[in-house]
Amino acid sequence: MSQQGANRSFMDDLDSFIDMAREVVEVAPADDPDRIIWLHELGNTLRRRFTVTGVLADLEDAIKVGQEAIDTAPNDYIHRGALLDSLGVHLAIRFAKTGSLPDLELAIQVTRQAIDVVVDSDNDRAFQLTHLANHLGERYERTGSSIDLEEAIEVAQSAVDMTPLDSSKRPGRLNTLANQLHERYGRTGILEELNKVIDICRGITKAAAEGSPDQALFKSNLAGHLGDRYLRTGDTNDLDEAIQLAQEALTTLPPGHADIPSLSSNLSIWLAKRYIRNRETTDVEEAIKMGHRSIAVAQPGNPSLAQYMSNLADCYWNRHTLTNCTDDFDAAVNLYQSALDHSNSNIQTRIAAGKLLFETFAHASQWQHALVASQTAFGLLPQLTPRSLGFVDKQRMLGRIVDLACDTAAVALHLGKEPFFALSVLEKGRGILAAAIEQIRVDVLDLEQSHPDLAGRFLELSQVLDAPIQGGDSVSAQAVANRRGEASVELEHLIDEIRKRPGFSDFLESPSEDDIRAAASLGPIVIINLSKFRCDAILVEQHQIRSLPLPDLTIDKMNEKESQGSLTSPSILKWLWDIAADPILQALGIRGPPPDDDWPHIWWIPTGGLSRLPFHAFGHHFPGSTETVLDRAISSYSSSIQALINGRKLRSDSAKDEALLVAMEDTAGQIKLPFVKEEVSAIAKLCKSMNLESCVPDKHKQAVLEELQNCKVFHFAGHGKTDGNPSQSGLLLTDGILTVSELMDINLRKHAPFLAYLSACGTGQIGGDAFFDESIHLISACQLAGFRHVVGTLWEVSDKSCVEISQTVYESIRDGGFSDRSVCWGLHKAMRQLRDTWLSTPEQRLDRMASSEREEIWSRDILSCDEGDEKMEKLFWVPFVHFGG
């Protein structure tokens, strides 16, 4: 019999059984135990018919009769687990077609109940574990919660382990495991993990019955994995095989099969990739055909529909870039817009479509349309990173929209929008992680006085969401995740309720224009926005907010300068003065050294790749020169204006007058730092003169974290580590790394400490370009923990220079008291002194450079920064920075 005939016979069998089962259920007494079995089988068969025909009514009926079977069965019914498990599958499939998240949540809930019911065999339990893995994997794709992914992998592996090697069910369970492992590869990028997934899928594809729907699914999945490996390695054999497998999979499925939309879209993706590589028009034409097919046969509420639309839009856009066909441009725009607006699809896909729509319009200089697209995408950001999501998961999500805020602000200024509008975009679209933490750690003193009941509830829910997500078994991790989800929803409702009370309408709202101008009361705030479209400085003063175009500062020019050498060489510092710092200072009326030592104070907020640069060091540095930032103003930094405002609200009233001093002269696996002992000894003496008791703890993470709860000053001297995953950057201690993530987990705001001094390399360095917008580094971690001021570094520092700089800073605090001014003034003074020494004579400067070469082996860095720089360009007075109010 032909495959088509076999499929027709299969459909006839399904129809006949459904008709018979309906009749039996209709006439059987309600208390007949056999009626439960018929209901169960009817539901499963309706679901099978849906997967072939795609008729949603069958799935609705399957859910209805599945629930009826559970409601009818007694609590001790021997097959209750099977009933619950089947209902979970029905609900999960409806979620896949409609995007209704409550369906998926209920599917996970009833499948867990099924697992908890005593089962007759390992095979029953393996069935249920496999289904739970699939449901958790679906929720991971929707929310990005790594807790769901790790549990999905764990239970999928358990299901495989329970399944005999010769079981016909083993391929399907291996496929589920491979799907979850592939998702983990998407997070880790470890090629060996992807290779393992491909090996698993090759085996199950070969083992599956030839021409079966299962084999079609396995082939399609294998095609996707091979395509991913092509993207990673560039091996065209993988791409060609991916296309062949995807085509074979599609030809196997009967018309109307529920998997046709996803398989068609996947084939479209890989054909489009081959078109980009080979420029064969037949590939892009077939890709477009398959893309249209995926959309045409998908249910309107299918949660993957935005992805299908975006994939097809990519095809049209790729062809437009070669042909300049306006019809292709219009098609791409319409599809990206439809994907952005598709409310049933997951937020990640919709925002990605919005970003692509923005860039498509911008490419065509349709700036107003571009701005509207980006604003729509911005409106979805709160859903991308709900309060319940863990920090690392939020970081990963936000890495996908890097530059969107900067580009949107640039387009807004290009259109002549008010500078405050552009500034608001930057405030809302950058630093989202920090803002989320700040909100749940906000001081609610005013609320406590007016509405103590609301304040108490706010603090209770905030504590749930602020608690670290600890490791552990999957059951306890899911319990924590579930509670966080509930608390997140409750907190949103509570915030709405608080805002309805008189005097609290702006509770946790973004700062107003008046608030932002008030933040400049101590000195101007300068936001430098670097975009692929243009660069501007937004100048915030007490009486106005204005923008200043910086036309000579471009990404291309920055990349060109970086390719020629260090971005911190004297020649680059001169160039950056000429094109950026000098125009900014002139606009602010700062045209020379201050008279009578009345130093103006500037807060710099750089965006994107500019966050790597030392704005305080821009200038023409030679004896007698005043054409430098350092000789005209005191400089401090912030990640955002909101962070600056929040930091100034901290009440620095530490529990003890204690200085926590950690000196890591010797660190396992790292070079010895001979000046660390001298540095900390000098700081201890200065602290004593300020009536601070020195605390020198055991150099283990837990001991340091415990002492942080009581200190007024924290001084770390040792090695720093910058990681590609910014949350894993940290300070090296005896038993490992005190990470950014661990520092962010602690909340010291009840007794906010005054100063964290991080005398190590790269404590203000961001690991990975994808995270520039979030300013995730050790300095910001200390600020979020509750330190009012933080001194850190932008890159590697000299061991000896650290001693000189830190001593001058602490002397300034001793002389000026624990004031905001004393910290930034001390650092400013220290850098000028070290710079002047460097410049004092040509001979001494050369000696200093030679010394720099020798001291390089004593730099406080694990991974050397800018290793290709010429030795003479390592200006060790430059990288020190102050963050705080």
Percent with pLDDT over 70 in the chain: 88
CA atoms within 13 A on the CB side of 747: 17
Q: How confident is the model at residue 3 (pLDDT cuts 50, 70, 90)?
A: very low
Look at residue 851 in the predicted model and tell me its pLDDT. Answer: 39
Q: What is the largest CA-CA distance in the chain?
A: 105
- pLDDT, the chain, mean: 86
Total count of residues recorded for the chain: 885
**Lowest-confidence region among 68-82, 214-228, 280-294, 761-775:** 761-775
When divided into structural domains, the chain yields a total of 3
Give residues with Cβ within 8 angstroms of 234, minimum separation 6: none
Does a structural domain hold residue 333?
Answer: no
Residue 759 lies in a domain: yes
Cα–Cα distance measured from residue 850 to residue 852, given in angstroms and rounded to the nearest whole number: 5
Torsion angle of C-alpha atoms 447, 449, 452, 454, degrees rounded to 10: -20
pLDDT for the residue 358: 96
Report if residue 221 sits inside a domain. Answer: no
Ranking 425-434, 535-544, 609-618, 753-762 by mean pLDDT, the lowest is: 425-434
Is the per-residue pLDDT at 456 higher than 60?
Answer: yes
CATH number at residue 747: 3.40.50
Q: Does a structural domain hold residue 343?
A: no
Residue 132 — very low, low, confident or very high, per pLDDT cuts 50/70/90? very high
pLDDT greater than 60 at residue 846:
no
Domain that holds residue 451: 443-499
pLDDT for 119: 65
Quick check: is 21 in a domain? Answer: yes
| 351 part of a folded domain | no
Q: Where does a domain end: 477, 499, 521?
A: 499
For residue 780, how many C-alpha atoms fall within 13 Å in the half-sphere facing its CB?
31
pLDDT category of residue 854 using cuts at 50, 70 and 90: very low
pLDDT band at 559 (very low <50, low <70, confident <90, very high): confident
Task: State mean pLDDT over 310-315.
Answer: 97
Q: What is the pLDDT of residue 9?
A: 67
According to the model, what pLDDT value does residue 521 have? Answer: 95
State the helix-helix crossing angle for 820-839 and 799-816, rounded to 10 degrees. 140
Residues with Cβ within 8 Å of 242's Cβ and at least 6 positions away in sequence, in order, are 222, 223, 224, 226, 227, 230, 270
Q: Name the residue with higher pLDDT: 841 or 602.
A: 602
Distances (CA, A) of 127 to 157, 196, 208: 12, 23, 18
Residue 623 lies in a domain: no
What's residue 393's pLDDT?
A: 67
Global pTM value: 0.81
Higher-confidence position of 849 and 333: 333
- Is residue 781 a contact partner of residue 815, using CB atoms and an 8 Å limit? no
* Start-to-end Cα distance in the chain: 80
Residue 508 pLDDT class (50, 70, 90 cuts): confident
Between CA 357 and CA 857 the distance in angstroms is 49
Tokens of 877: 């007075």
Is the Cα dihedral 547, 553, 555, 558 positive or negative? Answer: negative
Q: Which of 224, 226, 218 is nearest to 249 (CA)?
A: 218
pLDDT, tens digit, for every residue of 371-425?
A: 999 999 988 887 777 766 666 666 666 767 778 899 999 999 999 999 999 999 9
The beta-strand segments (E) located in 542-586 are 544-549
- Which CATH number do you get for residue 52? 1.25.40.10
Domain for residue 685, yes or no? yes
> How many whole angstroms separate alpha carbon 861 and alpha carbon 716?
13
Smallest CA-to-CA distance from 706 within 642, 775, 658 is with 658
pLDDT at 671: 85
Rounded Cα–Cα distance for residues 597 and 692 (Å): 30
Q: What is the reported pLDDT for 2?
A: 45
pLDDT digits (tens, 9 = 90+) for 39-57: 898 888 889 888 888 788 9
Query: Final residue of a domain: which of 62, 88, 120?
Result: 120
pLDDT reported for residue 876: 81
Q: Which of 499, 525, 543 is the last residue of a domain?
A: 499
Average pLDDT over residues 310-333: 95
Least confident of 98-102, 155-159, 193-197, 672-676: 98-102
Judged by average pLDDT, the poorest of 274-278, 329-333, 580-584, 869-873 is 869-873
